[in-house]
């Protein structure tokens, strides 16, 4: 969903998010630097969170990070989250339920019995909806697509609401990277248990090529999933109990969402998708 | 807003985890289609029994079964006669203008015109709805303090006084629809590769406004305008700031030629955005046509 949301920004960005090139030593140092917030707010204080590391089973705190209040302390609009989730469930759903009307059901062209003289009710067809085996009135027809687009800023505010709720309910954790020392499944199991995460955990990185160990360790655990930041969406955030973002992912998510919340050409960009244009 | 958000987030801290199973839309925000069921489900749906009510063949609206209808008893008053031809000036208040400047959406150190206001993305005009530019309105006149050189298409006396009291200058200028089309989306216009058009003179019914010094018309005599500035200062009782002594005099005194549309660009020039060059006509005939 974030990918849909960020299509305009994508072309303008010089860096590529699909490969990890930096060496672990330099990235660890970079992760410890204090964050510089884009579009700092005059009225709201930044939220502070611990930067953790996945390299030990027990929680190891590295430093404190500041998160942008417009993204991580936004108004938790449950209704917008609901709308986002309904949209995500519906836009790709095509109903294949199908029924036949009285004219599509085989037979029934002949008047079953004379109009008068039998003392029976008058009927013109044995496939009338009154008959057993007759057609269905106003029944479902296949295929029925349920596609629609949610307005752009409802999608944006759905994301900020979901992130804010996750942080407020202590279900959001920031880690320096997704590097873990072993590719053993039990390592990640124990880590989640010892840190009181989950049970279901969504791990989000800024790039879509994840470190080998985490990929191997989470491969067989169905409720621990990996996701690149461009795939982050409201449904997955609520589907999983705990959301784990890498610092790179936090930077990327903030940059994209703040970019959309603060751009001044949104009217022109949205205009062409507007219905009922004069 | 931030207070409400913080309160809500604080409450959420002690509530069960928000998940797919416990969210809902705002109550009453969506109405489903209703299908009547139960005792009165298959009834007449409020349409009564038989007749015109049920079959919807009502009498035409206003018909009084034979009397001369009310709407035909009196002479027509053509309030909207020619409405589709009247020039419209969408309003922009001094309060909003001040806000744009305070929030750095407009650079007041340069002359402000329709182009710079539309480029904020906060104000737009649609030419096909007969919009002819900005009507600067007096809301916020008391607190207006930006010192600027602004060109609008319509301004009241109070607005002119508010701008001039703050040490700025204001001009009212007419743009024909072709010129406006170039101004509201400059990028699109330059990409089209057509020469910048020559601004047309105002239509006959607008000549009076745009030549009058009291309206600060762009066709008025500059000397008369400086007289009117003094007259207005005396009428509203403020000390007229001397713009001649101001350090920004050059900016404040800058005016467009009556045939010019963009500051710094003359009619007939072609702006090539890709090669970043401005092409100027050399042909004698063209020069003669585009000369003001």
Q: Which of A20-24, A96-100, B24-28 has the lowest mean pLDDT?
A: A20-24
A165 touches chain B (CB under 8 A): yes
- For chain A, what are the domain ranges? 26-33+40-91+149-271, 99-145
Residues of chain B with pLDDT under 50: 1
A163 touches chain B (CB under 8 A): no
pLDDT score recorded for residue A173: 97
Distance from A43 to chain B by nearest Cα, in Å? 8
The answer, yes or no, to whether residue A269 has pLDDT greater than 90, is: no
Nearest residue in B to A80, CA atom: B25
pLDDT score recorded for residue A7: 44
Architecture of the domain whose range is A26-33+40-91+149-271:
3-Layer(aba) Sandwich (3.40)
A239 touches chain B (CB under 8 A): yes
Residue A19 tokens read as: 């490969």
A33 vs B166 pLDDT, higher one? B166
B104 touches chain A (CB under 8 A): no
Disruptive mutation site among A79, A163, A234 for chain B (greatest number of B CBs within 10 Å):
A79
pLDDT score recorded for residue A77: 96
pLDDT score recorded for residue A277: 60
Percentage of chain A beyond pLDDT 70 is 87
Which residues of B fall within a CB distance of 8 Å from A171? 17
Identify the band that residue A24 occupies on the pLDDT scale cut at 50, 70 and 90. very low
Which of B17, B121, B124 lies closest to A169 in CB terms? B17
Identify the band that residue A278 occupies on the pLDDT scale cut at 50, 70 and 90. low
In chain A, the largest separation of any two C-alpha atoms, in whole Å, equals: 97
**Are A78 and B105 within 8 A, CB to CB?**
no
pTM: 0.73
Helix axes A152-168, B2-13, angle to 10 degrees: 50
**Are B8 and A76 within 8 A, CB to CB?**
yes
pLDDT score recorded for residue A27: 54
The answer, yes or no, to whether residue A48 has pLDDT greater than 50, is: yes
Q: What is the 3-state secondary structure (H, E, C) of chain A?
A: CHHHHCHHHHHHCCCCCCCCCCCHHHHHHHHHCCCCCCCCCCCCCCEEEEEEECCCCCCEEEEEEEECHHHHCCCCCHHHHHHHHHHHHHCCCEECCCCCCCCCCCCCCCCCCCCCCCCCCCCCCCCCCCCCCCCCCCCCCCCEECCCCCCHHHHHHHHHHHHHHHHHCCCEEEECCCCCCCCCHHHHHHHHHHCCCCCCEEEEECCCCCCHHHHHHHCCCCCEEEEEHHHCCHHHHHHCCEEEEEHHHHHHHHHHHHHHHHCCCHHHHHHCCCCCCC
pLDDT score recorded for residue B272: 95
Q: What is the ipTM score, two decimals?
A: 0.82
The answer, yes or no, to whether residue A4 has pLDDT greater than 80, is: no
Distance from A39 to chain B by nearest Cα, in Å? 13
DSSP B190: H
Identify the band that residue A30 occupies on the pLDDT scale cut at 50, 70 and 90. low
Residue A232: C-alpha distances to residues A171, B101, B268 (Å): 15, 37, 51
Question: Taking Cα atoms as reference points, which of B117, B170, B114, B120 lies closest to residue B141?
Answer: B170
Which residues of B fall within a CB distance of 8 Å from A235? 20
Which residues of A fall within a CB distance of 8 Å from B19? 238-239, 241
The answer, yes or no, to whether residue A155 has pLDDT greater than 70, is: yes
Identify the band that residue A248 occupies on the pLDDT scale cut at 50, 70 and 90. very high
Nearest residue in B to A69, CA atom: B2
Nearest residue in A to B16, CA atom: A169
Which residues of B fall within a CB distance of 8 Å from A81? 18, 23
Digit-coded pLDDT (tens) for A167-187:
999 999 999 999 999 999 999
Identify the band that residue A270 occupies on the pLDDT scale cut at 50, 70 and 90. confident
Query: Mean per-residue pLDDT for A260-270?
Result: 82
Distance from B280 to chain A by nearest Cα, in Å? 31
pLDDT score recorded for residue A13: 42
Beta strand B135-137 pairing with B154-155: parallel
A227 vs B58 pLDDT, higher one? A227
pLDDT score recorded for residue B158: 97
Question: Taking Cα atoms as reference points, which of B1, B53, B34 lies closest to residue A157?
Answer: B1
Rounded Cα distance between B218 and B261, Å, is 13
Task: Give chain A's mean pLDDT.
Answer: 88
Distance from A84 to chain B by nearest Cα, in Å? 10
**Are B20 and A44 within 8 A, CB to CB?**
no
Beta strand B91-93 pairing with B135-137: parallel
């Amino acid at each position: 969903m974030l990918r849909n949301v960020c299509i305009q920004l994508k072309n303008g960005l010089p860096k590529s998010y699909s490969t990890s090139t930096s060496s672990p030593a330099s990235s660890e140092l970079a992760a410890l630097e204090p964050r510089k917030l884009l579009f700092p707010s005059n009225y709201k204080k930044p939220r502070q969170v611990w930067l953790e590391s996945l390299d030990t089973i027990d929680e190891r705190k590295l430093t404190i990070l500041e998160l942008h209040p417009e993204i991580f302390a936004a108004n938790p609009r449950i209704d917008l989250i609901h709308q986002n989730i309904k949209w995500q469930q519906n836009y790709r759903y095509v109903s294949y339920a199908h029924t036949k009307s009285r004219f599509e059901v085989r037979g029934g062209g002949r008047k079953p019995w004379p109009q008068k003289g039998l003392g029976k009710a008058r009927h013109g067809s044995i496939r009338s909806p009154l008959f057993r085996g007759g057609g269905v009135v106003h029944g479902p027809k296949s295929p029925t697509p349920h596609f629609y687009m949610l307005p752009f800023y409802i999608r944006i505010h759905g994301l900020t609401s979901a992130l804010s709720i996750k942080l407020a309910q202590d279900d959001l954790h920031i880690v320096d990277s997704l590097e873990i020392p072993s590719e053993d499944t039990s390592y990640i199991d124990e880590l989640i248990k010892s840190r009181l995460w989950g049970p279901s955990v969504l791990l989000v990185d800024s790039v879509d090529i994840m470190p080998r160990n985490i990929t191997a360790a989470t491969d067989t655990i169905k409720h621990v999933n990996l996701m690149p930041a461009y795939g982050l969406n409201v449904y997955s955030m609520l589907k999983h109990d705990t959301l784990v973002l890498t610092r790179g992912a936090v930077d990327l998510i903030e940059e994209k969402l703040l970019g959309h919340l603060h751009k001044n050409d949104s009217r022109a960009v949205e205009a062409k998708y507007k219905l009922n244009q004069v | 807003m931030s207070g409400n958000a913080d309160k809500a987030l604080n409450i959420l801290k002690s509530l069960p985890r928000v998940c797919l199973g416990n969210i809902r839309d705002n109550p009453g925000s969506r109405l489903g289609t209703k299908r009547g069921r139960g005792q009165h489900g298959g009834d007449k749906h409020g349409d009564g029994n038989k007749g015109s009510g049920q079959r919807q063949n009502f009498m035409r609206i206003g018909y009084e079964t034979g009397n001369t209808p009310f709407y035909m008893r009196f002479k027509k008053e053509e309030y909207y006669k020619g409405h589709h031809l009247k020039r419209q000036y969408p309003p922009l208040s001094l309060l909003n203008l001040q806000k744009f400047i305070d929030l750095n959406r407009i650079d007041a150190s340069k002359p402000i015109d329709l182009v710079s206001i539309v480029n904020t993305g906060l104000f737009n005009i649609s030419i096909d709805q007969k919009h002819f530019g900005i009507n600067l309105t007096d809301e916020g006149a008391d607190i207006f303090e930006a010192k600027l050189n602004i060109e609008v298409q319509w301004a009241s006396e109070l607005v002119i006084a508010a701008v001039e009291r703050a040490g700025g200058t204001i001009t009212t200028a007419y743009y024909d629809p072709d010129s406006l089309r170039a101004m509201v989306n400059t990028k699109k216009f330059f990409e089209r590769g057509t020469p910048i058009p020559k601004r047309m003179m105002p239509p006959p019914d607008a000549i009076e406004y745009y030549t009058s010094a009291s309206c600060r018309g762009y066709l008025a005599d500059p000397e008369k305008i400086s007289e009117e500035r003094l007259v207005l200062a005396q009428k509203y009782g403020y000390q007229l700031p001397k713009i001649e002594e101001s350090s920004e005099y050059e900016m404040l005194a800058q005016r467009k030629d009556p045939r010019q549309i963009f500051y710094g660009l003359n009619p007939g020039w072609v702006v090539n955005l890709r090669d970043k060059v401005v092409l100027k006509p050399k042909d004698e005939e063209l020069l003669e046509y585009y000369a003001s």
